[in-house]
C-alpha cells in the first residue's frame, strides 16, 4: 500500500475545474443571454451608422452631428457607474428590463424625430439608459463560478460582435428604401422590447451561483449596517406594516425599496469605489483603451493614403479584423486555462503583443504586414479586454460587481473623449502618429502592470470597501 499523500488546500483558481451543474444542465439560460447581447448590438449597429446622414437630412451641420455624439458619450460617462451601482441595489434583472424598455422607447422617439431638438432628446434618453452590455456582464458574473467566467464572457463578447457585424448589412439595404431610417429605428425599438421580454422571463433567481442575499444590498440585514441612524429610527417608529416584496428572490421591506433608500445605497457604493485601491486597474484599462482607440481612429485614412487601397478592400480588411475578434472571443477561455488563470500575466503578454504590433503597423511598408498586424491586434485586444474585466471582478466584492463594471465603462468613455482630440493633434505631424502614440501608451501600461504585479496577485488586499 502506498503512503497516503497529505491534503493540500485547493486553490480557488486551479487549472482544472468541474463544470458548473447549472451551466451543464441548463445551457439555454446562457444562450438566452448571448441572444440578448447579439440583438442589442445588432439593433444599435443598424441605426448608429445612419445617424449622421439623418442629421444632415434634417438640416444639421457636421458640428451638430458631432455635438449629438458628444452628448451621448458624456451621458454614458456619468450614467454608467450610477446604473451599475443601481443593479447592485435592486437586482440586475430588474434594472436590465427597465433600461431595455427605455432604450427601446428612445429609438422609437428617434424614428419619430422630425427635428434636431427631438433627435437630441432621443439620444439623451439613450445615453442615460443604454447599458445592456455592462449589466449583462455583471449578471453573468452572478450566474457562473469564477473559473468559468473568462470563457462565458468571451462567448458573450463574440455574440455582441456578431451582432455588430450583421447590423450594418441590413441597415445598408433598408436605408435605400423610402423612409428607410424610420423603418430601421422602429426595428431597433422592437428588438429592444424583444430583449426586455427575454430578460424578464429568465429564471435568474433559480440559477444564481451566489446566494442572492449576498449580492443585492436592499435586504434587511444589509440595511442595519448601511442606513444612517436617523433612517433606521424612522423605520423603527414607522406605523406602516412591513409589506414584504421580492427582488430577484430577495425578501426586502417595501419601505427600504423607496427611491431614497436606493439613492443612499448607490451613493455608498460609489463612495466605496472611490476609496478603494482599484484605480491601478482602471488606469491600465484607460491606457489600453486609449491606445486601441488611437489605432482605429485613423485606420481607414492611413491605409488609404499609405497603400492606395480602394474603399472596398479597406472594408474587407476591417471585416476580417472583426471576424478574428469574434474567433478570439470564442477561444479566450482556452487561452486563460493555458495560463492557469493567471490573468495579470496573460494581460501583460497580450499588452506586449499589442504594443509591438502597433509599432510594426506604423512602420509597415507592405499590405501583408498590415494584415498580420491586424490579425494579431484583433486577438491581443480581445484577450486583453477579457483579462481586465476578470481582474476587476476578482478584485472587487460580489456586492459591488455592477458598480465596478459601470465604473470601468465610464473609464472607457473618458478614453473615447480624449482619443479623437489626441489623434487629430498627432496626425498634424504624421499619418502614422496615432498608432505610434498608442504603442507608447501601451508601453506605459506594461510598465504599470510590471510594477503592481505582486499587488494584483493578492485579491484579498484589493477588495472594494463598503461602509
Distance CA 389, CA 396 (A): 11
Quote the pLDDT of residue 51. Answer: 85
pLDDT 10s per residue in the chain (467 long)? 444 444 444 444 444 444 444 444 467 788 899 999 999 999 998 888 888 888 888 888 877 887 888 888 888 888 988 898 888 888 888 999 999 999 999 999 998 988 899 999 999 999 999 999 999 998 888 888 888 888 899 999 999 999 988 888 888 788 777 778 888 999 999 999 999 999 998 876 656 655 555 555 443 334 344 433 333 444 444 444 444 444 444 444 454 456 767 777 777 777 777 777 778 888 999 999 999 998 888 888 888 888 888 777 887 888 888 889 899 998 988 898 888 878 888 999 999 999 999 999 998 888 899 999 999 999 999 999 998 988 888 877 776 788 888 888 899 989 888 888 888 888 888 888 889 999 999 999 999 888 876 565 554 444 444 44
What pLDDT score does 458 carry? 53
**How open is the CA angle 361-386-274, to the nearest 5 degrees?**
110
Task: Give the span between the Cα atoms of 287 and 444, in whole angstroms.
Answer: 8
- Looking at the DSSP assignment, which residues form a beta bridge with residue 245? 252
Query: How high is the pLDDT of residue 6?
Result: 43
pTM metric for this prediction:
0.76
pLDDT of residue 236: 47
- Note the pLDDT of residue 290: 93
**The C-alpha cell that represents 295 in the structure block:** 489605432
CB atoms within 10 A of CB 218: 23
pLDDT value, residue 372:
93
How far is the C-alpha of 125 from the C-alpha of 109, rounded, in Å? 9
Q: pLDDT at position 384, please?
A: 92
Question: What is the rounded CA–CA span in Å between residue 199 and residue 196?
Answer: 5
Angle between helices 149-174 and 132-143 (to 10 degrees): 150
The per-residue pLDDT for 141 is 86
Structural domains of the chain, ranges and CATH numbers in brackets: 28-203 (1.20.1250.20), 276-457 (1.20.1250.20)
Amino acid at each position: 500500500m502506498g503512503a497516503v499523500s497529505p491534503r493540500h488546500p485547493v486553490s480557488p483558481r486551479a487549472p482544472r475545474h468541474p463544470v458548473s451543474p447549472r451551466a451543464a444542465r441548463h445551457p439555454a439560460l446562457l444562450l438566452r443571454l448571448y441572444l440578448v447581447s447579439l440583438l442589442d448590438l445588432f439593433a444599435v449597429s443598424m441605426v448608429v451608422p445612419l445617424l449622421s446622414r439623418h442629421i444632415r437630412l434634417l438640416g444639421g451641420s457636421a458640428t451638430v452631428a458631432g455635438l449629438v455624439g458628444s452628448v451621448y458619450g458624456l451621458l454614458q460617462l456619468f450614467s454608467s457607474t450610477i446604473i451599475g451601482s443601481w443593479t447592485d441595489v435592486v437586482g440586475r434583472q430588474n434594472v436590465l428590463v427597465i433600461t431595455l424598455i427605455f432604450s427601446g422607447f428612445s429609438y422609437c422617439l428617434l424614428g419619430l424625430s422630425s427635428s434636431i431638438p427631438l433627435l437630441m432628446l432621443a439620444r439623451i434618453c439613450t445615453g442615460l439608459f443604454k447599458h445592456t452590455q455592462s449589466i449583462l456582464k455583471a449578471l453573468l458574473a452572478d450566474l457562473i463560478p469564477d473559473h468559468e467566467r473568462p470563457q462565458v464572457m468571451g462567448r458573450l463578447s463574440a455574440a455582441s460582435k456578431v451582432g455588430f457585424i450583421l447590423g450594418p448589412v441590413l441597415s445598408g439595404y433598408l436605408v435605400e428604401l423610402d423612409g428607410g431610417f424610420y423603418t430601421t429605428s422602429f426595428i431597433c425599438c422592437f428588438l429592444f422590447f424583444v430583449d426586455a421580454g427575454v430578460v424578464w422571463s429568465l429564471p435568474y433567481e433559480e440559477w444564481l451561483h451566489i446566494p442572492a442575499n449576498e449580492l443585492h444590498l436592499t435586504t434587511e440585514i444589509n440595511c442595519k449596517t448601511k442606513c444612517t441612524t436617523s433612517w433606521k429610527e424612522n423605520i423603527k417608529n414607522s406605523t406602516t406594516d412591513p409589506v414584504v416584496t421580492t427582488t430577484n428572490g430577495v425578501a426586502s421591506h417595501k419601505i427600504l425599496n423607496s427611491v431614497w433608500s436606493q439613492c443612499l445605497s448607490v451613493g455608498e457604493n460609489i463612495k466605496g469605489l472611490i476609496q478603494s485601491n482599484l484605480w491601478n486597474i482602471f488606469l491600465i484599462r484607460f491606457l489600453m483603451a486609449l491606445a486601441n482607440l488611437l489605432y482605429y481612429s485613423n485606420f481607414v485614412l492611413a491605409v488609404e493614403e499609405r497603400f492606395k487601397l480602394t474603399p472596398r478592400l479597406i472594408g474587407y480588411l476591417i471585416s476580417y479584423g472583426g471576424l478574428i475578434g469574434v474567433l478570439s472571443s470564442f477561444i479566450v477561455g482556452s487561452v486563460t486555462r493555458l495560463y492557469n488563470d493567471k490573468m495579470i500575466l496573460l494581460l501583460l503578454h497580450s499588452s506586449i503583443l499589442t504594443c509591438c504590433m502597433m509599432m510594426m503597423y506604423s512602420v509597415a511598408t507592405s499590405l501583408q504586414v498590415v494584415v498580420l498586424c491586424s490579425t494579431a491586434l484583433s486577438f491581443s485586444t480581445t484577450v486583453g479586454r477579457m483579462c481586465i474585466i476578470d481582474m476587476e471582478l476578482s478584485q472587487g466584492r460580489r456586492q459591488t460587481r455592477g458598480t465596478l463594471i459601470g465604473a470601468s465603462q465610464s473609464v472607457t468613455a473618458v478614453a473615447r473623449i480624449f482619443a479623437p482630440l489626441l489623434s487629430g493633434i498627432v496626425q498634424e505631424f504624421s499619418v502614422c502618429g496615432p498608432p505610434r502614440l498608442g504603442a507608447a501608451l501601451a508601453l506605459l501600461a506594461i510598465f504599470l502592470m510590471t510594477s503592481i504585479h505582486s499587488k494584483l496577485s493578492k485579491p484579498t488586499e484589493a477588495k472594494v470597501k463598503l461602509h
